[in-house]
């Protein structure tokens, strides 16, 4: 077992300058506590920035202090902090990923700094990285890092987790550097997101920008399988539950209660950020007081805003807006013995936070957009008496898990007002019921479960990759095939056409044999000991026309037709094609509704092609069409098959396996059997082959074949090699 290297922009400690001295403070973030147990074991390590521009002369000292605590610093200059961190990370990526594109800054020099700093991280990590290590990269500041590390260590085990939302393609596409950013992420083996929606958006961008599809989150990038999944981050539940009964917390609660009196409290805690919806919350509270005047003097908003990024101008403006709003509302409603809003612009130690959670009747968590939001989870974990009500924005990732909260749309001020009223008047029994259910879920999916799940998923992807590798044809295996080919007296070779001998084209008629393929076919068929069979789903005409020069056998339409060399096509099965008329008119309707699609008619099957259809629409129509067809063909002995950008309907008694069987009967003396194919229809061929045959799948998805190659180009390479042998 190698070590684990955790990498995030910030280390779990922050260094601050106090009276000309550097002081090291633990950072309280959820990530730091969650990974504490991981990075302090064995020789595990955390790599990141210590949160301050350190003087060159002090770097060595800081480095050695941190290394003792399993941390390795990445030092950033003042300029890098401005351009990489405040700039590209927080003024370009942050607003784009949170759908605040009116704030997105597009500046080439910020992008250059982002690339440089990611490269710097990669170099520092590579100094530590050994073969069996596991790398876990965190968040949007390091999107390029997975690929940069992969370039240095191609076999590294790399996980990536995004803590903020992954935006819809419609937002992500606005970034001039979208392709580079995405390719950076695709260097990872496993990518985790808080919610299914984030994962879905990511996969859609991968599809549109990198042209890669996925099957249940598994993507094939070049020769590597990688996986994306939704993995909502939990909190250290026991830590918050314990802190809620700590004597210091209880003492603080008593003090606060004494100062505030008996009023009810609505709690709001956020970092200063426009994504958190703080002004919207204040306006809603103002409207609440006007609409429900009975609550004046009976309820106060307890609002903590933690200073953050206040050197970025948008944050400065936000701070001013909040100050003004609080001033205006307090100015309008205050009484000598009642302050509507208690507003704190600073951070507090954990016991204070716990006391705030305990003392508040309602937690109002209403971000405009939030990757997850941990404050709402911490509030729930701190409610040891199970009372209290959580109002939660549907735009926070946490709302997917905490469906027992009062869920609101933060843009709907009236809904916010009604939610406050409902929360403040909720019967205790109901409060206990929903709190109990939320606590149960948060206890189970806590931070430790999250870390374990992430590590397990990453290890599983690696296992799958190595399983695929053992099937993938390497030099040794191709030598073995060459040797068997050479030793044999009579050979029978089944070759599928599209996707196996040639690549896919928008127009299937364009996939004619090119010069390289012509030469391969000539040489293969010239050898009198070879029986070559082209076994395809295509119609007779195309195959007859393009295979004419070679002495080989042809199987067309998945086995309906067999053509022995020099003879005409024959069919060996009695089949009925009366179903075609009605099905054809249905397919024509889909063509009318789906620009770019077309129907191919064969003797005993019909194919709907959608390769040229707008990305996404083809898949939607396929779902609709296949369910329509399955219903229509239920009693017809027909099969509906989904292939590479096609939907095919054929008689179910026809398949390539039966045709292959027939040809093996024709050539019973063959002592070398080879079958190559790329899609589901070739699986029947593979299944029909005897144990000693070489069956090779083109592509990495699951298959009955014994071996696999990555593409038609590798098929050609293999064929060229065996001919030469
Ligand atoms: C990003 C994503 C995602 C707050 N005030 C004080 C204090 N805090 C602590 C809270 C909580 C943390 O800070 C805030 O976490 P959030 O999740 O709410 O927000 P971000 O910092 O924006 O985090 C977010 C998160 O990553 C994890 O993936 O949930 O969506 O934006 O733990 O308790 N802690 C102390 N004093 C304070 O005054 N000690």
Could you report the per-residue pLDDT of 403-421, keeping only the tens digit for each?
A: 999 999 999 999 999 999 9
Distance 434 CA to ligand 1 centre (A): 23
Spatial contact of 563 and 525, defined as CB atoms under 8 Å apart = no
Residue 564 clears pLDDT 90, i.e. is over it: yes
Q: So what's the pLDDT on residue 532? A: 97
Distance 550 CA to ligand 1 centre (A): 70
353 Cβ inside 6 Å of ligand 1: yes
Distance CA(258)–CA(306), nearest Å, equals: 24
Q: Which pLDDT band, with edges at 50, 70 and 90, does 317 fall under?
A: very high
Which of 12, 28, 344, 381 most suits a substitution to test ligand 1, by most atoms within 8 Å of the C-beta? 28
Distance CA(188)–CA(203), nearest Å, equals: 14
Q: So what's the pLDDT on residue 5? A: 97
DSSP annotation of 614 reads P
Q: Which pLDDT band, with edges at 50, 70 and 90, does 29 fall under?
A: low
Spatial contact of 292 and 419, defined as CB atoms under 8 Å apart = no
Distance 288 CA to ligand 1 centre (A): 27
b or e along 27-40 (b: 16 or more beta carbons within 10 Å of the residue's beta carbon)?
Answer: eeebbbbbbbebbe
What are the beta bridge partners of residue 338? Answer: 335
Instruction: Name the residue at shortest CA distance from atom 38 of ligand 1.
Output: 347
Q: So what's the pLDDT on residue 308? A: 84
- Beta strands in 91-217, from DSSP E residues, in sequence order: 134-138, 157-161, 190-193, 214-215
Residues in the chain: 725
Could you report the per-residue pLDDT of 505-550, keeping only the tens digit for each?
A: 878 788 899 999 999 999 999 999 999 999 999 999 999 999 999 9
Please report the atom of ligand 1 found closest to the CA of residue 161.
28
What are the beta bridge partners of residue 647? Answer: 608, 642
Distance CA(110)–CA(389), nearest Å, equals: 43
Could you report the per-residue pLDDT of 428-439, keeping only the tens digit for each?
A: 999 999 999 999
Can you tell me whether residue 187 is helix, strand or coil?
A: coil
348 Cβ inside 6 Å of ligand 1: yes
Q: So what's the pLDDT on residue 438? A: 96
370 Cβ inside 6 Å of ligand 1: yes
DSSP annotation of 92 reads I
354 Cβ inside 6 Å of ligand 1: no
306 Cβ inside 6 Å of ligand 1: yes
Q: So what's the pLDDT on residue 351? A: 97
Distance CA(278)–CA(307), nearest Å, equals: 13
**Which of 424-428, 500-504, 565-569, 651-655 has the lowest average pLDDT?**
651-655
Structure tokens given for 546: 């393009």
164 Cβ inside 6 Å of ligand 1: yes
Nearest to 561 by CA among 575, 549, 551: 575
Distance 11 CA to ligand 1 centre (A): 15
- Of the listed 133, 139, 370, 496, which one is catalytic? 496
Distance CA(711)–CA(547), nearest Å, equals: 22
347 Cβ inside 6 Å of ligand 1: yes
* Burial tier of 312 (Cβ tally within 10 Å: 0-12, 13-18, 19+): buried
Could you report the per-residue pLDDT of 54-80, keeping only the tens digit for each?
A: 899 999 999 999 999 999 999 999 999
DSSP annotation of 167 reads P
Residue 468 clears pLDDT 70, i.e. is over it: yes
Residue 496 catalytic?
yes
Which of 27, 89, 375 most suits a substitution to test ligand 1, by most atoms within 8 Å of the C-beta? 375
Distance CA(538)–CA(540), nearest Å, equals: 7
Distance 10 CA to ligand 1 centre (A): 14
Structure tokens given for 676: 């190559």
The mean predicted confidence, pLDDT, of the chain is: 93
Instruction: Name the residue at shortest CA distance from atom 9 of ligand 1.
Output: 29
Could you report the per-residue pLDDT of 618-643, keeping only the tens digit for each?
A: 988 999 999 888 888 777 788 898 88
350 Cβ inside 6 Å of ligand 1: yes
Please report the atom of ligand 1 found closest to the CA of residue 371.
30
User: What does residue 405 show for φ and ψ, rounded to 5 degrees?
Assistant: -75, 170
132 Cβ inside 6 Å of ligand 1: no
Residue 695 clears pLDDT 90, i.e. is over it: yes
- DSSP for 476-502? HHHHHHHHHHHH-SSEEEEE--BTTTB
Give me the mean pLDDT over the 469-496 stretch: 92
Residues in Cβ contact with 369 at an 8 Å cutoff, skipping those fewer than 6 apart: 98, 99, 100, 165, 275, 395, 396
- The answer to whether the predicted template modeling score (pTM) of the entire model surpasses 0.85 is no
Instruction: Name the residue at shortest CA distance from atom 4 of ligand 1.
Output: 270
Distance 373 CA to ligand 1 centre (A): 7
Q: So what's the pLDDT on residue 231? A: 94
Structure tokens given for 320: 């001013």
Distance CA(705)–CA(701), nearest Å, equals: 10
Residue 559 clears pLDDT 90, i.e. is over it: yes
Residues in Cβ contact with 609 at an 8 Å cutoff, skipping those fewer than 6 apart: 508, 597, 598, 599, 600, 645, 646
The owner of tokens 């902090």 is 81
395 Cβ inside 6 Å of ligand 1: no
Distance 688 CA to ligand 1 centre (A): 59
Distance 624 CA to ligand 1 centre (A): 43
Can you tell me whether residue 196 is helix, strand or coil?
A: helix
DSSP annotation of 551 reads -
Q: What percentage of the chain exceeds 70 in pLDDT?
A: 99
Could you report the per-residue pLDDT of 216-242, keeping only the tens digit for each?
A: 899 988 778 999 999 999 999 999 999
Instruction: Name the residue at shortest CA distance from atom 27 of ligand 1.
Output: 163
Spatial contact of 184 and 145, defined as CB atoms under 8 Å apart = yes
Q: What percentage of the chain exceeds 90 in pLDDT?
A: 80
Can you tell me whether residue 43 is helix, strand or coil?
A: coil
Q: So what's the pLDDT on residue 59? A: 94
269 Cβ inside 6 Å of ligand 1: yes
Q: So what's the pLDDT on residue 39? A: 83
Which one is predicted more confidently, 389 or 30? 389
Give me the mean pLDDT over the 26-48 stretch: 80
Structure tokens given for 417: 């007002």
Give me the mean pLDDT over the 374-388 stretch: 97
374 Cβ inside 6 Å of ligand 1: yes
Q: So what's the pLDDT on residue 28? A: 62
* Burial tier of 459 (Cβ tally within 10 Å: 0-12, 13-18, 19+): middle
233 Cβ inside 6 Å of ligand 1: yes
Distance CA(233)–CA(134), nearest Å, equals: 20
Distance 102 CA to ligand 1 centre (A): 24
Spatial contact of 483 and 268, defined as CB atoms under 8 Å apart = no
Spatial contact of 354 and 328, defined as CB atoms under 8 Å apart = no
Please report the atom of ligand 1 found closest to the CA of residue 28.
39
b or e along 203-221 (b: 16 or more beta carbons within 10 Å of the residue's beta carbon)?
Answer: bbbbbbbeebebeebbbbb
Give me the mean pLDDT over the 267-285 stretch: 97
């Amino acid at each position: 077992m190698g070590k684990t290297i955790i990498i995030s922009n910030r280390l779990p400690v922050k260094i601050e300058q106090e009276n000309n001295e550097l002081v090291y403070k633990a950072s309280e973030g959820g990530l730091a506590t969650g990974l504490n147990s991981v990075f302090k074991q064995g020789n595990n390590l955390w790599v990141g920035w210590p949160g301050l521009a350190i003087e060159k002369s002090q770097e060595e000292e800081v480095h050695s202090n941190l290394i003792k605590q399993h941390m390795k610093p990445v030092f950033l200059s003042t300029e890098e902090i401005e351009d990489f961190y405040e700039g590209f990370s927080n003024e370009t990526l942050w607003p784009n990923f949170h759908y605040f594109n009116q704030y997105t800054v597009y500046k080439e020099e910020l992008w250059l700094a982002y690339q440089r700093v990611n490269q710097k991280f990669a170099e520092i990590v590579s100094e530590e990285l050994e073969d069996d290590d596991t790398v876990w990269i965190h968040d949007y500041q390091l999107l390029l890092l997975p690929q940069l590390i992969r370039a240095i260590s191609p076999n590294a085990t790399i996980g990536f987790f995004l803590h903020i939302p992954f935006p819809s393609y419609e937002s992500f596409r606005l970034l001039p550097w979208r392709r580079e950013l995405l390719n950076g992420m695709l260097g990872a083996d496993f990518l985790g997101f808080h919610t299914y929606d984030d994962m879905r958006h990511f996969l859609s961008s991968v599809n549109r920008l990198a042209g890669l599809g996925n099957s249940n989150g598994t993507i094939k990038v070049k020769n590597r399988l990688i996986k994306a999944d939704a993995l909502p981050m939990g909190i250290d539940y026991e830590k918050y539950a314990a802190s809620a009964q700590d004597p210091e917390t209880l003492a603080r609660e008593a003090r606060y209660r004494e100062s505030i009196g008996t009023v009810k409290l609505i709690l709001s805690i956020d970092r200063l950020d426009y994504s958190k919806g703080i002004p919207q919350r204040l306006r809603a509270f103002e409207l609440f007081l006007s609409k429900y005047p009975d609550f004046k003097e009976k309820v106060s908003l307890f609002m903590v805003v933690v200073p953050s990024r206040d050197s970025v101008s948008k944050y400065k403006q936000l701070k001013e807006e909040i100050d003004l709003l609080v001033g205006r509302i307090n100015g309008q409603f205050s009484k000598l013995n009642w302050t509507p809003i208690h507003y704190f612009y600073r951070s507090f130690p954990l016991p204070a936070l716990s006391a705030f959670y305990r003392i508040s009747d309602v937690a109002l968590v209403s971000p405009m957009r939030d990757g997850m939001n941990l404050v709402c989870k911490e509030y729930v974990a701190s409610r040891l008496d199970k009372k209290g009500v959580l109002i939660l924005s549907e735009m926070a990732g946490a709302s997917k898990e905490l469906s027992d909260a009062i869920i609101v749309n933060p843009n709907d001020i009236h809904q916010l007002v009604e939610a406050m009223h409902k929360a403040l008047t909720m019967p205790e029994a109901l409060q206990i019921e929903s709190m109990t259910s939320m606590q149960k879920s948060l206890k189970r999916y806590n931070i430790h479960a999250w870390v374990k799940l992430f590590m397990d998923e990453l290890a599983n992807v690696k296992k799958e990759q190595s399983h695929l590798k053992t099937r993938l044809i390497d030099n040794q295996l191709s030598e073995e095939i060459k040797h068997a080919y050479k030793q044999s007296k009579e050979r029978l070779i089944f070759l599928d056409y599209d996707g196996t001998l040639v690549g896919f084209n928008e127009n299937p008629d364009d996939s004619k044999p090119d010069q390289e393929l012509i030469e391969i076919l000539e040489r293969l068929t010239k050898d009198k000991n070879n029986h070559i069979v082209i076994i395809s789903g295509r119609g007779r005409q195309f195959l007859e026309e393009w295979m004419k020069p070679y002495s080989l056998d042809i199987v067309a339409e998945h086995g309906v037709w067999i053509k022995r060399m020099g003879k005409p096509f024959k069919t060996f099965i009695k089949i009925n094609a009366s179903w075609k008329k009605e099905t054809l008119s249905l397919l024509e309707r889909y063509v009318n509704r789906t620009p770019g699609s077309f129907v191919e008619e064969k003797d005993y099957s019909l194919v709907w092609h959608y390769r040229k259809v707008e990305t996404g629409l083809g898949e939607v129509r396929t779902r609709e069409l296949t369910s329509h067809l399955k219903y229509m063909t239920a009693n017809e002995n027909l099969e509906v098959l989904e292939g590479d950008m096609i939907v095919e309907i054929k008689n179910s008694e026809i398949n390539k396996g039966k045709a292959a069987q027939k040809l093996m009967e024709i050539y019973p003396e063959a002592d070398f059997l080879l079958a190559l194919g790329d899609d589901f229809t070739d699986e029947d061929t593979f299944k029909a082959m005897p144990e000693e045959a070489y069956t090779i799948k083109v592509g990495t998805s699951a298959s009955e074949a014994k071996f696999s190659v990555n593409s038609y180009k590798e098929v050609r390479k293999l064929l060229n090699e065996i001919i030469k042998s």
